Amino acid sequence: MEATGVALIGLGTVGSGVAQILISHGDRIARRAGRALQLRRVIVQQVDKSRSLQLAEGLLSDRLDDLINDSSISIVAQLIGGLEPARTIMLAVLESGKDVVTANKALLAEHGPELFQRARELGRSIAFEAAVAGGVPVVTGIGQCLAANQIISIQGILNGTSNFIVTRMMSAGISYQDAVSEAQQRGYAEADPRLDVDGSDAAQKLALLSQLAFGTHLNWRQIPRTGIEQLDIQDLQYAEQMGYRVKLLATATLESAGLEMHVSPTLVRRGRPLAEVGNSNNAVSVVGDAVGRVFFHGQGAGQMPTSSAVVADLIDTATGRSLQTFQHLPLWSSDEQPISITPASAHRGRYYLRMMVVDEPGMMATVAQALSHHDVSINSIFQPESSLPENPQQVNLIIMTHATTGGSIKAAVEELEQSPATVSECILMRVLD
């Protein structure tokens, strides 16, 4: 069978990994795709930059037209980040009649509706397994393998940087800032890690998975999100003592009123597979109405795991599977009934609540009353001995609630923070049992 011409746009970390697999393992890829995938063009910004990867003479170009006008290229792996010029380039590639593979979740989360519609109109496909959870096949898992199911919930650890930071805080007993520095030194975090640690990256990935699973038509910014920047090592340790691990969890749950979605640090009960996901790994736990719970776990980022997903998409596109899948994915398509998002105030769940209180007679009654005013019922209370020798009157009080709504707990926290018994802001986290 004739070889399929492939091109790359971008030769950074992932681009180099993909090129390496295509070049070093051409035989393997050819067997699995039923035809050779031949790398015919790599578009970069600077052709003469020195690179460790040796490519054949003439493969590199800094002119997109060398790719667009080459009819021998039918699949393009677009491996550059950011929104522009990534969007314009992807549209141009689609217009030229080529199929696209991408790992750029920010681009899809932002411009997915436009890009997917245009691809559909043109009879082309966009494959994006690498855009969510790197090497862990959750896009195929949800979009194809669980296609018989109504998905009921998705719970994911989708940001490897955040997971590395909370894992290190706990294992090394260090502060958030020290863990961030270590993540930066090891290359797990950018110089500006904001989008990773504030929950935006996880929200973008959750939006993509939710569109696959539920046909939601939402902008990722609509997803309520709390990051890990305010996490205190104390709370991680108290959680551990009570049998939980703190994880930055991205969840979408189908409820009768609609879809409950959020990204937030969450106490996950030990023994649950999600609680045991360490370092920079990613994991997704999906519940379907037929299949029950399915759990996927692996490396969510990094050069070769991400390249593994990109090359799988290249093979899928070359065999024609991607196009068949793409045509029927409920991604920004008008075929599926979109499900509405329930307001955060209506979400029910358990909460972890920590506050610094003045340890004097009546304090506990004041706290209990404030909670009771808002129908928040206490499941357990834990008051460790004062850790402030200079101020033994101030003690930490940790409360685990029974299930309550986001609105009730928020109102209770507001009342508590205004109460004279409380001398700090309340730390509030969700609980997953």
The least distance separating its own copies from the CB of residue 302, rounded to whole angstroms, comes to: 8
Nearest-angstrom CA–CA distance, 290 and 153: 13
Residue 25's contacts (CB-CB under 8 Å, 6 or more residues apart) are none
The least distance separating its own copies from the CB of residue 415, rounded to whole angstroms, comes to: 40
Helix axes 105-122, 321-328, angle to 10 degrees: 100
Complex with its own copies: residue 196 or 316, whichever CB lies closer? 316
Convert residues 312-331 into a mask of x (bound to its own copies by CB under 8 A) and - (unbound): x--xx--xxx--xx-xx-x-
> How is residue 38 written in tokens?
């031949």
Q: Would strands 348-358 and 404-405 be described as parallel, antiparallel, or unpaired?
A: antiparallel
| 251 closest CA partner among 278, 284, 288, 219 | 284
Name 156's bridge partners: 250, 284
Name 382's bridge partners: 398
- Active-site residue, 205 included: yes
* CB-based contact 119:326 (threshold 8 Å): yes
The least distance separating its own copies from the CB of residue 276, rounded to whole angstroms, comes to: 6
Nearest-angstrom CA–CA distance, 168 and 176: 9
CA angle 161, 83, 228 (to 5 degrees): 25
Tell me which stretch binds its own copies (CB under 8 A): 168-176, 190-198, 291-299, 392-400.
291-299
Is 293 an interacting residue with respect to its own copies (CB under 8 A)? yes
Nearest-angstrom CA–CA distance, 401 and 245: 17
Complex with its own copies: residue 150 or 175, whichever CB lies closer? 150
Q: How many residues bind its own copies (CB under 8 A)?
A: 58
Is 417 an interacting residue with respect to its own copies (CB under 8 A)? no
Complex with its own copies: residue 320 or 392, whichever CB lies closer? 320
Is 291 an interacting residue with respect to its own copies (CB under 8 A)? yes
Complex with its own copies: residue 68 or 127, whichever CB lies closer? 127
Please list every residue from 296 through 315 that binds its own copies, using CB under 8 A. Answer: 296-299, 302, 304-305, 307-312, 315
Nearest-angstrom CA–CA distance, 381 and 354: 10
Please list every residue from 134 through 163 that binds its own copies, using CB under 8 A. Answer: 135-137, 140-141, 144-150
- The catalytically annotated residue of 49, 205, 247, 410 is 205
- From 3, 92, 233, 294, residue interacting with its own copies (rule: CB under 8 A): 294
Is 29 an interacting residue with respect to its own copies (CB under 8 A)? yes
Please list every residue from 81 through 120 that binds its own copies, using CB under 8 A. Answer: none
* CB-based contact 284:155 (threshold 8 Å): yes
The least distance separating its own copies from the CB of residue 215, rounded to whole angstroms, comes to: 9
Look up residue 197 and give its amino acid. Answer: V
Q: Three-state SS for 147? A: coil
Nearest-angstrom CA–CA distance, 425 and 389: 20
In the chain, the largest separation of any two C-alpha atoms, in whole Å, equals 84
Tell me which stretch binds its own copies (CB under 8 A): 21-29, 242-250, 253-261, 373-381.
21-29
Binding site for its own copies (CB under 8 A): 17, 21, 25, 28-29, 31-34, 129, 135-137, 140-141, 144-150, 271, 273, 276, 288-299, 302, 304-305, 307-312, 315-316, 319-321, 324-325, 327-328, 330, 335-336
Q: Active-site residues: which are they?
A: 205
